[in-house]
Amino acid sequence: MSGAVDTGVAIRTNRVTRTFIYLFLLLFALFYLLPLAVMLINSVKPLSEITGGNMMALPDVWTFEPWREAWSSAQIGVQPTGLRPYFINSILIVVPAVAISTIMGALNGYVLTKWRFRGDTILFGMLLFSCFIPFQIVLIPMARVLGMIGLAGSVPGLILVHVVYGLGFTTLYFRNYYSAFPTELVRAAQIDGAGFFRIFYRILLPLSGPIIVVTIIWQFTNIWNDFLFGSSFAGQASQPMTVALNNLVQSSTGVKAYNVHFAGAILAALPTLIVYIVSGRFFVRGLMAGSVKG
Amino acid sequence: MARPVQSDLRTRLQEWIPKIVLAPSVASMLIFVYGFIVFTGYLSFTNSRILPSFDLVGWHNYWRLFQLPTWTIAVQNLAIFASLYIAICIAIGLTLAIFLDQKIRGEGMLRPIFLYPMALSFIVTGTAWKWLLDPGIGIEHTLHLWGWESFHFGWIKSSSMAIYTVVIAAVWQSSGFVMAMFLAGLRGIDNEILKAAQMDGASNWNLYRRIIIPQLRPAFLSAFVILAHLAVKSYDLVIALTGGGPGRATELPATFMYSYTFTRNEMGVGAASAVIMLMTIAAIMIPYLYAELKEPK
Amino acid sequence: MRSYIGRTLKMASVLALVAGSAQAEDVEVLHWWTSGGEAAALNVLKDDLQKEGIGWKDMPVAGGGGQSAMTVLRARVTSGDPPTAVQMLGFDISDWAQQGALADLDKVAADGNWDAVVPAALQKFSKYDGHWVAVPVNVHSTNWVWSNKKMLADLGIEEPKTWDEFIAAMQKVKDSGKIALAAGGQPWQEATMFDGVVLSVGGPEFYKKAFVDLDPDALGGPQMVESFKRMEQLHSFVDPNFSGRDWNLATAMVINGEAAFQMMGDWAKGEFLRAGKEAEVDFGCFRTPGTAGDVTFNSDQFAMFKVGEDAQAAQDAMAKAVMSPSFQIAFNTVKGSVPSRTDVSDEEFDACGKKAMAQLKSASENGTLLGSMAHGHADPASVKNAIYDVVTANFNGDYDAETAAKELVKAVSLAQ
């Protein structure tokens, strides 16, 4: 019964509350930004300033050498190639894997909601449960299977692995999204003689924008950041970015060039960061329409 | 004469198409998920060490598993970690979402700031966190330099507190994502109902407690699924932050399983721990999935 | 279908070889030597091979002292596509050989007379069932103590010869307000110190009984209790922030004069050298007090995997190149270790390296060259890690010395 509530717009808050809210949000923004700030600040410092000084202090001497080094001349293996060549490998793996798993997820979601059949819920339950399988246990059998079908150590092999273990989530997203979609429309189109794929292309797909964004963000992030599969199943020519970054950061001896490590880390994360920032608005909208609806 | 047959064929084909479309996913799931689970289950009864072997040894691996103090620590840690992580992420995520939903200026700026940690891999954010939490160079050191001499924050160096630093870093990574899910839920709530309730004189607090939060139930459930899955799989995080230390104080089942399977050459014990883990997940997830999937009918 | 194409391509390449082209196959090398110095040293090998027309396919996977690389290896072998050569340590080699995955290098070994030049203790790991399966690249030893000479001189501390002198020296450093012992709290680092401590308490006989024979009486006996007590003594000399610290950061503390001693394998020397410090002038090296004359070693080796006949020639050439004195010198002067063959001149090595080479030779002759427990040269991975668990629990204060000895017996028997 607080008197501060006005009628009209749904929620009203008074000034004190609003100040508190702003402070709270800013505080958390600081909390979230802190590690990134540490990484950014220290990636433009010469190494001597890092080892001798305050990690939060701004650099006395600004240098972009660590960035250049991480990108094109840091020692990754025997050769000082930097992260550049691995960037391309990652793209070659991520783009098809995201595309295929998203398309398959969309079709699965479509079937599971609009073309229901006996046992579909159980199938979906099983698919969903597969999201929880710890990836470590699949390494050895997966390696065997990849070897048998001749895809060991190749980019198509890695794509296959990522598609298979991404299907659970992509199907979940699309199923939840499409379940809110009026089935009557589909039935009406069916009566008009439209086929399975035609209905999908013409009716569902044009309205699937937000959930496609969510799925792509989710898959892109997961696959781009994957280390376990990338290191185990990639060949010498197809190692992704994370494996290279790991080699850069985890080298066992020598002075740890933290500035180069941080620069490399930010470089490696750049594609996902850009995806998040550019599509942040669609992301919430997509979640709104999709995954949060049981 | 030929026409009805053809159209009959067409409708029958139409009936089959959905199943054909679903078939590759189902087949790959059966092989690559459930087939591999069965395989792992089998391995847990064998004397596999460096590579899979097929000599059965009965329950020996399970017996050994439960003799190992590290496994007990790992399971206890998972209980602490998962419950705190899920609870705190949901609390922070919900609070941030509710606050952001108050027509906040700069929402467009704040949202990506809250969300971005999810985009980063822990291979290196782990290093940044390790620095921040290290009393010798991190927050404690910085505050000392800034004059707050008595400040002390050395959890990461203490066997009993280190697991909580893992919670902090994990919450940092995923609470923004949870925020986005709740925010989406909040934006989906019909304003008319709220207005009506306000007419009846409900306070903000009651509005949230009685009407809005109950309506977010699907968002709670989705958040729970995603967080539970991340908690169980947490591996990179621990490795980057503490390496399982001090001692074995922050070992989790995922790190335990990995180290037994791949670095200790005890694949049998690793498989046994994986089976226990999967059964635990199943015990939690199956009732949830059942409740969740039963509803739409 | 694909594998069919693959096979056809391979056939074609074999045909090309038969057709008289001098182009040999490439070697694919899985390793975790990714830091600047190590990679530069490895580059020497790469260039040597290139001169013979053999290409080098680099497969670096760093992390966890080779843990990630070993995981990758398992995936590669399971998928039927093993690399040519893999960097490997101690018992891992025997384990893989036992799986029948390793190649036979007897012919190259006979040509190079490896039997005579490689210390017998090393051969135990390079050979399986009497056949050469791996090529040793270097010999590290773990019972070293590194010191900051200037700090010791300032405090008037002599190089300690016995354990009690060592403790007294560290007490003196601690009293002066500096850190006595630079340590990194990671299980393998604690176990590295434990190597030296056990040896100092019981000598080579006890070390062998405990770590090689895994005799429960030795593992749980009074000498082991004493060893754990010494670990507790050491713990009182480390700084409060030691846990989780990387070993090279601990070395940096000695280099920068923050700490007086570090007990670490001789890879630490590489850090001193890179920092422009001179052996026995700026920094000192001495064996863990009480272990003079004994050497606990570990050796990086290239285990050679079975490859097709067409790749055999390249593999053999690589094995030969690894054992060549020029590569052994080039690599080991950078890495801080000593060559794996005892007939190499020590001219290029610094004072500590010369000392290490002489000690290696005499220890090998006296039978006091022992495999390092901490680095998988005394026991298989399962036992080694079980010992780690107890050592780290003791060092971090979870077990007192008596409990630790009891738990050690239990842990080792469970892991066998």
Report the alpha-carbon distance of residue B236 to residue A190 in Å, rounded.
49
Superfamily per CATH, domain A84-289: MetI-like (1.10.3720.10)
Chain C residue numbers touching A144 (CB-CB < 8 A) = 78-79
Chain B residue numbers touching C385 (CB-CB < 8 A) = 259, 263-264
Q: Is residue B49 pLDDT above 90, yes or no?
A: no
* Pair (C303, C289) in one structural domain: no
- What's the distance, CA C183 to chain centroid? 18
Longest dimension (CA), chain B: 96
By CB neighbour count within 10 A (0-12 exposed, 13-18 middle, 19+ buried), where does A65 fall? Answer: middle
C302 three-class SS: strand
Note whether C74 contacts B50, CB cutoff 8 Å.
Answer: yes
Chain B residue numbers touching A2 (CB-CB < 8 A) = 203-205
Distance from CA of A282 to the nearest CA of B (A): 10
User: Is residue B11 included in any domain, yes or no?
Assistant: no
Q: What chain C residue is nearest to A79 in terms of C-alpha separation?
A: C39
Chain C residue numbers touching B64 (CB-CB < 8 A) = 414
Q: Is residue A3 pLDDT above 80, yes or no?
A: no
Q: How confident is the model at residue B122 (pLDDT cuts 50, 70, 90)?
A: confident
- The phi and psi torsions of C30 (rounded to 5 degrees) equal -95, 125
Listed in sequence order, the residues at least 6 apart from B138 whose beta carbon sits closer than 8 Å to its beta carbon are: A55, B131, B132, B153
Domain with B235, as residue range(s), is 71-264
Length of chain A: 294
Chain B residue numbers touching C62 (CB-CB < 8 A) = none
Q: How confident is the model at residue A140 (pLDDT cuts 50, 70, 90)?
A: confident
Q: What is the DSSP string of A150-215?
A: T-TTSHHHHHHHHHHHHHHHHHHHHHHHHHTS-HHHHHHHHHTT--HHHHIIIIIGGG-HHHHHHH
In A, residues 250-269, which contact C (CB 8 Å cutoff)?
Answer: 250-256
Give pLDDT, residue B1: 41
Give pLDDT, residue B92: 95
Report the alpha-carbon distance of residue C255 to residue C258 in Å, rounded.
8
Note whether B114 contacts A28, CB cutoff 8 Å.
Answer: yes
- For an interface test with C, the pick among A50, A86, A250, A253 (most C C-beta atoms closer than 10 Å) comes out as A253
User: Is residue B94 included in any domain, yes or no?
Assistant: yes
Give pLDDT, residue A152: 85
Note whether B157 contacts C244, CB cutoff 8 Å.
Answer: yes
Note whether C241 contacts B136, CB cutoff 8 Å.
Answer: yes
Report the alpha-carbon distance of residue C95 to residue B262 in Å, rounded.
13
Note whether C240 contacts B135, CB cutoff 8 Å.
Answer: yes
Task: Find chains touching chain C: ≥3 CB pairs under 8 Å.
Answer: A, B
Note whether B18 contacts A196, CB cutoff 8 Å.
Answer: yes
Interface residue ranges in chain B relative to chain C, Cβ cutoff 8 Å: 49-52, 64, 67-70, 130, 134-136, 154, 156-157, 159, 239, 242-243, 245-249, 258-259, 262-266
pLDDT tens for A173-198 read 888 888 878 888 888 888 888 888 88
Cβ–Cβ contact B6 with A under 8 A? no
Full pLDDT tens readout for chain C, 416 residues: 344 444 444 433 333 333 333 345 789 999 988 777 778 788 889 999 999 889 998 888 887 677 788 888 988 888 888 899 999 998 889 989 988 899 999 999 999 999 999 999 999 999 999 999 999 999 999 999 999 999 999 999 999 999 999 999 999 999 999 999 999 888 889 999 999 999 999 999 999 999 999 999 999 999 999 999 999 999 999 998 888 888 888 998 999 999 999 999 988 888 888 888 999 999 999 999 999 889 999 999 999 999 888 888 999 999 999 999 989 998 898 888 899 998 898 888 999 999 999 999 999 999 999 999 999 899 988 899 899 989 999 998 889 999 999 999 999 998 87
* Pair (C306, C275) in one structural domain: no
Note whether A255 contacts C248, CB cutoff 8 Å.
Answer: yes
User: Is residue B257 included in any domain, yes or no?
Assistant: yes
Q: Where are the beta strands (DSSP E) in C258-314?
A: 259-263, 283-287, 295-298, 300-304
Q: Is residue A50 pLDDT above 60, yes or no?
A: yes
**CA–CA distance from A228 to each of A218, A224, B145, C184, C251 (Å)?**
17, 11, 40, 26, 31
- CA angle, residues A15, A20, A23, in degrees to nearest 5: 125
Q: Is residue B4 pLDDT above 80, yes or no?
A: no
Count up the domains in chain B and report the number: 1
Would you tell me how many other CB atoms lie within 10 Å of the CB of residue A73? 14
Q: Name the amino acid, one letter, at B138.
A: G
Report the alpha-carbon distance of residue A142 to residue C212 in Å, rounded.
36
Average pLDDT of chain A? 83
- The phi and psi torsions of C157 (rounded to 5 degrees) equal -105, 130
Name which of B75, B94, B38 is nearest B231 in CA terms: B75
Give pLDDT, residue A252: 58
User: Is residue B247 included in any domain, yes or no?
Assistant: yes
Report the alpha-carbon distance of residue B46 to residue B38 in Å, rounded.
13
User: Is residue B40 included in any domain, yes or no?
Assistant: no
Q: How confident is the model at residue A12 (pLDDT cuts 50, 70, 90)?
A: low
* Residues forming beta bridges with residue C261, ordered by sequence position: C147, C181
HSE of A257, CA atoms in CB hemisphere, 13 A: 23
Name which of A243, A218, C388, C122 is nearest B180 in CA terms: A218
Note whether A288 contacts B188, CB cutoff 8 Å.
Answer: yes
- The phi and psi torsions of C94 (rounded to 5 degrees) equal -60, -40
Q: Name the amino acid, one letter, at B256.
A: F
Q: Is residue A211 pLDDT above 90, yes or no?
A: no
Q: What chain A residue is nearest to B204 in terms of C-alpha separation?
A: A11
Q: What chain B residue is nearest to A210 in terms of C-alpha separation?
A: B184
Which tokens sit at B205?
Answer: 């607090």
Q: How confident is the model at residue B268 (pLDDT cuts 50, 70, 90)?
A: very high
- CA angle, residues C400, C405, C411, in degrees to nearest 5: 115
Listed in sequence order, the residues at least 6 apart from A115 whose beta carbon sits closer than 8 Å to its beta carbon are: A196, B18
Q: How confident is the model at residue B6 (pLDDT cuts 50, 70, 90)?
A: low
The answer, as to whether pTM is greater than 0.90, is no
Distance from CA of A50 to the nearest CA of C (A): 13
Note whether C99 contacts B159, CB cutoff 8 Å.
Answer: no
Answer for the pair B240, B250: CB distance below 8 angstroms, yes or no.
no
Answer for the pair A47, A35: CB distance below 8 angstroms, yes or no.
no
Mean pLDDT for B121-141 is 79
Which tokens sit at A232?
Answer: 């185990």
Q: What chain A residue is nearest to B253 in terms of C-alpha separation?
A: A134
User: Is residue B51 included in any domain, yes or no?
Assistant: no
* Residues forming beta bridges with residue C259, ordered by sequence position: C179
- The most confident of the ranges A33-47, A125-139, A277-291, B196-210 is A33-47
Cβ–Cβ contact B263 with A under 8 A? no
Give exposure, C63-72, as e/b (b: 16+ Cβ within 10 Å). Answer: bbbbbbbbbb
Task: Compare CB distances from C2 to A75, A151, A247 and report the shortest one's residue.
Answer: A151
Mean pLDDT for B209-221 is 82
Count up the domains in chain C and report the number: 2
Chain B residue numbers touching C78 (CB-CB < 8 A) = 51-52
Note whether A11 contacts B194, CB cutoff 8 Å.
Answer: yes
Answer for the pair C240, C174: CB distance below 8 angstroms, yes or no.
no
Q: Residue C261: give its domain's CATH number.
A: 3.40.190.10
In C, residues 6-25, which contact A (CB 8 Å cutoff)?
Answer: 6
* Pair (C349, C304) in one structural domain: yes
Pairing mode, if any, of strands C259-263 and C295-298? unpaired
Report the alpha-carbon distance of residue C76 to residue C84 in Å, rounded.
11
Q: Residue B216: give its domain's CATH number.
A: 1.10.3720.10
By CB neighbour count within 10 A (0-12 exposed, 13-18 middle, 19+ buried), where does C98 fall? Answer: middle
By CB neighbour count within 10 A (0-12 exposed, 13-18 middle, 19+ buried), where does C402 fall? Answer: middle
Range with the poorest average pLDDT among A136-150, B132-146, C82-96: B132-146
Q: What chain A residue is nearest to C28 in terms of C-alpha separation?
A: A236
Which tokens sit at B79?
Answer: 């209980």
pLDDT tens for A212-268 read 888 888 899 889 988 888 888 888 788 898 888 888 877 656 667 788 888 988 888
Domain with C386, as residue range(s), is 141-297+358-415
pLDDT tens for A74-101 read 877 777 788 888 999 999 999 999 999 9
* Pair (C164, C51) in one structural domain: no
Give pLDDT, residue C236: 94
Note whether C61 contacts A236, CB cutoff 8 Å.
Answer: no
Q: What chain C residue is nearest to A75 in terms of C-alpha separation?
A: C36
B266: enclosing H helix or E strand: none
Chain A residue numbers touching C275 (CB-CB < 8 A) = 255
* Pair (C256, C204) in one structural domain: yes
Q: How confident is the model at residue B196 (pLDDT cuts 50, 70, 90)?
A: confident
Report the alpha-carbon distance of residue A201 to residue A6 in Å, rounded.
47
Give exposure, C314-342, as e/b (b: 16+ Cβ within 10 Å). Answer: bbbbbbbbbbbeebbbbbbbbbbbbbbbb
Cβ–Cβ contact B232 with A under 8 A? yes
- The phi and psi torsions of A128 (rounded to 5 degrees) equal -70, -40
Task: Compare CB distances from B104 to A25, A115, A283 and report the shortest one's residue.
Answer: A25
Q: What is the DSSP string of chain A?
A: --TTPPSSSS----HHHHHHHHHHHHHHHHHHHHHHHHHHHHHTS-HHHHHHS-TTSPPSS---HHHHIIIIIS-SSSS---SHHHHHHHHHHHHHHHHHHHHHHHHHHHHHHHS--TTHHHHHHHHHHGGGS-GGGGHHHHHHHHHHTT-TTSHHHHHHHHHHHHHHHHHHHHHHHHHTS-HHHHHHHHHTT--HHHHIIIIIGGG-HHHHHHHHHHHHHHHHH--HHHHHH--TT---HHHHHHHHH--SSS---HHHHHHHHHHHHHHHHHHHHHHHHHHHHHHHHTTT--
Distance from CA of B58 to the nearest CA of A (A): 20
Chain A residue numbers touching C71 (CB-CB < 8 A) = 139, 231-232
Q: Is residue B61 pLDDT above 90, yes or no?
A: yes
Note whether B263 contacts C70, CB cutoff 8 Å.
Answer: yes
Name which of C245, C111, C235, C249 is nearest C181 in CA terms: C235
Length of chain C: 416
Report the alpha-carbon distance of residue A218 to residue A166 in Å, rounded.
9
Which tokens sit at C92?
Answer: 């891992």
Q: How confident is the model at residue B160 (pLDDT cuts 50, 70, 90)?
A: confident
In C, residues 234-253, which contact B (CB 8 Å cutoff)?
Answer: 240-244
